[in-house]
Chains A and B, each alone.
Chain A
Amino acid sequence: MKRARIIRLCTVVLATCTMVMACNPSGTQPTDSYNRKAMLATVADSIVLPGYSALEQTAALLQASVIRFSISPSLSNLNDAKAAWKSTLKQWQHVTLFDFGPAESLYGFASAELGTFPPSPLKIESYIAANDSTLSNYDRDSRGILGMEYLLFHTSPDSIIQEFSAEPARKAYARAVAQRIYSECSRLLSAWIGAYAAQFASNNGTDAGSSTTLLFNALNVSYEALKNYKLALPMGRRAGQTTAQPTKVEAYYSASSVMSLKEHFATIELVWEKGFSGYLNAVTSGSRVATETRDQFVKVKSVLAQLNESENLATLIQQNDPRLESLFVEMQKLTRFLKSEASSVLGISITYSSGDGD
């Protein structure tokens, strides 16, 4: 009797072990109803890799032109540097969303290292005054793409040329900032080419830490940052603000904020369309969410289309331009589709990176 019990207990334990091992995700080729691997590969191959590749090229041009300008501070060299900077800003908007994997390092996120805004003139000028171009500090608002903007755009071209001619420390600082931008972009590109693109596509589960979840969260974080910090904050629409703060727009000195806003939003839409839209159409209730989300994307885009890239966002904010209010309202409406509806029907909202569910 006793032995029979022990045998039964052992059988149960063995059966458990077998089940656990049978289900252990290792090596075997998964069968898919929706091919998430293909979706991830599409995002990597058609958005991320070309994006970083273009960014690396413009960052290289930027660095070269900043060096040329620092050697011979002429108007034409300044204009070259400004043009290269503007392409860099544009390309940056195409990849700022992918703030995970290689973009997450021990010292923080690439979006902070490259994209912090507004830059702090105070910090930049004090580093220059101290002849400190090591950039070994956590003052992200003293460098990056928008720090570079300050150096090239903060005053009239004549004065910029004058500053660069007179101050060797400024030249060194500008070169260091350009160098850091280039090395960061080049590091990100090599990391994606090297191994991460393949790793990204093959990590095709839906648990916390899977690429689908990473990409989904990154898309949301990036969208909220766009809405809250590139639009709501300068408009004075953040809680606790008493007035608009138009100088806090991204790319204030070069007045390229509208371009930057449009490019950033276009990337979010592109990732949505190439990535999640098709996935949604393959799941329960998903096609409804996909359609409603696309409708809202169209509404935001139609308001964005009314803004011209030659217009200065800071000025529009000062003038209380009604187009901005409707942009804000439509962007606000898009949030729930991106944030809760899609994640809910995709079944990826029940995963947490810090805790369990039940």
Chain B
Amino acid sequence: MATSFFQRATNTYRYYLGQVTSAAPLAFMRMVFGMLMVFGAVRFVALGWVEEQYIKPIVHFGYTGFEWVGSVGYPGMYIVFALMIASAIGVMLGAWYRASSISFFLLFTYVELIDKTYYLNHYYFVSLVAFLFCLLPAHRVFSVDSLRKRWTLNATVPRWTVDVLKVQICMVYFFAGIAKLQPDWLFNALPLRIWLPAHDSLPLIGWLFALPATAWIFSWMGMVFDISMPFLLWNKRTKWYAYAAVIGFHTVTGLLFQIGVFPLVMIGMTLVFLIPQNFFRTEHRALAGSVKTIQTSAWITPLLTVFFVAQILIPFRFLLYNGDLYWNEEGYRFSWRVMLMEKSGAATFTVTDSMTGTSGIVDNREFLNSHQEKQMSFQPDMVVQYARWLKKHYQELGVKEPVVTADVWVTLNGRPSRLLVNPTTNLAAEEVGWHQYAWVLPNE
């Protein structure tokens, strides 16, 4: 029995891997993705953020395991962005597609790894999708490559190549949805009850945000929207309504919150559920001799299995730690926890010369930009990273054996401030990593 079930499953999977679909939708998604990435990167440069975020700061908050990744400064970072934009154009046009997609993935991910201050879930999403595009034959039609090298041209691609994009998008919505299944979001309408009234001056709809009920309705609607979207988008009968909801949801959140290109990215990428097979009428073009079967490499299945299983497990890693996830943030990132809390802090660091006993406070603005200071002031790992940097800095200035302590007052969802880290701990002697942070005080 068991064997036959296994065999049937294997056969079904083999059959699935062998299925093909029109190459047009995947090529279309390639163009959409490339275009969005060109826009996003050009916007980033135009707003002066390369300078603000990666050139001017003298401190960077690296990720565990990637502390060695640093900014290449000026003009290096501009060269990185120029190459990134060129790669995105390459992806969009399907020109030297493999090289372009791999280089875009590497450059984009490199920039994100420099400083966790600027971590955003949608940057993580972009990195993941960029990785997928490296594997996908998205350049078989409507591409410079297919004109350049005739053999590239192909009317069909394996069906899984489109499906993995759909799965990736479903991951985002589904996990964002279940992250909202928590008491503050559902039963206190927090943080929306804090955020929405600040938008009461928006024309036409502003008055809505001044109503107390709006925050509750938005909280519940947001949760239902996120959880149901994967199912509604995948279902043929509901996908158009789902897409209208996608547009509505992302338009409203885009107007309310400063979330950059994220709404556009989601509105653009969810098109993968809608785009009809014959959208570009590929079958009728000069493709008669170009229907080959693209072989799926044997390593694709294990690779994508690891890729998606990891994404399923990572959001749950917080269960390995004690304490309140929202407070200690151990296991918070890379989990599609989007706009879930209003958290803010004021961190005052004291550097004590352990030889002489003289101590003094640090003006954070001297070393951090406002974005970095804001983020550092409520994230325990960044507090320690900064303390370690301060130790090194004041050692260079001649302070012997600096002990770095901090009063970090953090307010979560409008509740009274509490101390985030033990004010007597020498934070500069602590390490950042995967262990439970002993220096974080409980939120109770």
> Which residue of A is nearest B199, CB measured?
A206
Closest CB in chain A relative to B34 CB, distance in Å: 20
Using known A-B contacts A23-B204, A344-B414, determine if residue A356 contacts B260 with beta carbons closer than 8 Å: yes
Q: Which of A31-39, A97-105, A168-176, A253-261 forms part of the interface with chain B? A: A31-39
With an 8 A cutoff between CB atoms, is A355 at the interface?
yes
With an 8 A cutoff between CB atoms, is B325 at the interface?
no
Contact indicator A31/B200 (Cβ below 8 Å): yes
Contact indicator B360/A32 (Cβ below 8 Å): no
With an 8 A cutoff between CB atoms, is A339 at the interface?
yes
Contact among B206, B344, B390, B416 for A343, CB-based, below 8 A? B344
Q: Encode B327-353 as 1/0 by CB contact (under 8 A) with A.
A: 000000000001100111110111101
Contact indicator B201/A205 (Cβ below 8 Å): yes
With an 8 A cutoff between CB atoms, is B240 at the interface?
yes
Contact indicator B257/A239 (Cβ below 8 Å): no
Contact indicator B369/A354 (Cβ below 8 Å): yes
Using known A-B contacts A23-B251, A36-B201, determine if residue A354 contacts B371 with beta carbons closer than 8 Å: yes
- For the complex, count residues of B whose C-beta is within 8 A of A: 81
With an 8 A cutoff between CB atoms, is A122 at the interface?
no
With an 8 A cutoff between CB atoms, is A237 at the interface?
yes
Closest CB in chain B relative to A197 CB, distance in Å: 19
Within 8 A of A (CB), among B383-421: 390, 394, 397-399, 407, 409-411, 414-417
Contact indicator A34/B194 (Cβ below 8 Å): no
Contact indicator B198/A348 (Cβ below 8 Å): yes
Using known A-B contacts A23-B205, A26-B203, A32-B210, determine if residue A355 contacts B371 with beta carbons closer than 8 Å: yes
Contact indicator A357/B417 (Cβ below 8 Å): no
Chain A residues near B397 (CB-CB < 8 A): 240
Using known A-B contacts A23-B251, A336-B417, determine if residue A238 contacts B361 with beta carbons closer than 8 Å: yes
Chain A residues near B274 (CB-CB < 8 A): 9
Chain A residues near B98 (CB-CB < 8 A): none
> Which residue of B is nearest A348, CB measured?
B198
With an 8 A cutoff between CB atoms, is A330 at the interface?
no
Using known A-B contacts A240-B351, A341-B411, A355-B118, determine if residue A204 contacts B244 with beta carbons closer than 8 Å: no
Q: Encode A3-46 as 1/0 by CB contact (under 8 A) with B.
A: 00100110010011001101111111111111010000000000
Contact among B202, B248, B258, B361 for A232, CB-based, below 8 A? B361
> Which residue of B is nearest A292, CB measured?
B416
With an 8 A cutoff between CB atoms, is B120 at the interface?
yes
Chain B residues near A343 (CB-CB < 8 A): 344
Contact indicator A8/B240 (Cβ below 8 Å): yes
* CA gap between A224 and B373 in the complex, in Å: 14
With an 8 A cutoff between CB atoms, is A353 at the interface?
yes
Using known A-B contacts A16-B251, A238-B363, determine if residue A340 contacts B258 with beta carbons closer than 8 Å: no
Contact indicator B202/A25 (Cβ below 8 Å): yes
* CA gap between A112 and B95 in the complex, in Å: 52
Contact among B255, B258, B369, B398 for A357, CB-based, below 8 A? B258
Within 8 A of B (CB), among A299-316: none
> Which residue of A is nearest B364, CB measured?
A224
With an 8 A cutoff between CB atoms, is B285 at the interface?
no
With an 8 A cutoff between CB atoms, is A346 at the interface?
yes
Chain A residues near B338 (CB-CB < 8 A): 358
Contact indicator A349/B374 (Cβ below 8 Å): yes
With an 8 A cutoff between CB atoms, is A131 at the interface?
no
Contact indicator A285/B210 (Cβ below 8 Å): no
Chain B residues near A30 (CB-CB < 8 A): 200-203, 206
Contact among B204, B244, B344, B359 for A344, CB-based, below 8 A? B344
With an 8 A cutoff between CB atoms, is B259 at the interface?
yes
> Which residue of A is nearest B121, CB measured?
A358
With an 8 A cutoff between CB atoms, is B97 at the interface?
no
* CA gap between A15 and B134 in the complex, in Å: 34
With an 8 A cutoff between CB atoms, is B284 at the interface?
no
Q: Encode A212-241 as 1/0 by CB contact (under 8 A) with B.
A: 000001000100100010001000111111
With an 8 A cutoff between CB atoms, is B440 at the interface?
no
Using known A-B contacts A5-B276, A339-B346, determine if residue A239 contacts B203 with beta carbons closer than 8 Å: no
Please report whether the interface of chain B is mostly helix, strand, loop or mixed according to DSSP.
mixed
With an 8 A cutoff between CB atoms, is A121 at the interface?
no
With an 8 A cutoff between CB atoms, is A129 at the interface?
no
Contact indicator B351/A356 (Cβ below 8 Å): no
Contact indicator B414/A284 (Cβ below 8 Å): yes
Closest CB in chain A relative to B431 CB, distance in Å: 22
Chain B residues near A15 (CB-CB < 8 A): 244, 247-248
Contact indicator B207/A239 (Cβ below 8 Å): no
Contact indicator A32/B248 (Cβ below 8 Å): no
With an 8 A cutoff between CB atoms, is B365 at the interface?
yes
Chain B residues near A232 (CB-CB < 8 A): 360-361
* CA gap between A12 and B267 in the complex, in Å: 11
* CA gap between A208 and B350 in the complex, in Å: 30
With an 8 A cutoff between CB atoms, is A351 at the interface?
yes
Using known A-B contacts A8-B240, A353-B370, A354-B369, determine if residue A340 contacts B344 with beta carbons closer than 8 Å: yes
Chain B residues near A157 (CB-CB < 8 A): none
Within 8 A of A (CB), among B196-246: 196-207, 210, 240, 243-244
With an 8 A cutoff between CB atoms, is B30 at the interface?
no
With an 8 A cutoff between CB atoms, is B290 at the interface?
no
* CA gap between A119 and B409 in the complex, in Å: 35
11 example contacts (A-B, Cβ-Cβ < 8 A) are as follows A30-B201, A36-B201, A206-B199, A237-B359, A239-B349, A242-B356, A344-B194, A347-B195, A354-B49, A357-B257, A358-B339
Q: A12-B244, A345-B411 are in contact. List 8 more A-B contacts (CB 8 A).
A: A34-B200, A340-B409, A344-B342, A347-B197, A349-B344, A355-B49, A356-B258, A357-B257
Q: Lowest 9 CB-CB distances: which A-B pairs, in order? A: A33-B210, A356-B260, A347-B198, A285-B414, A239-B351, A336-B409, A336-B346, A30-B201, A28-B203
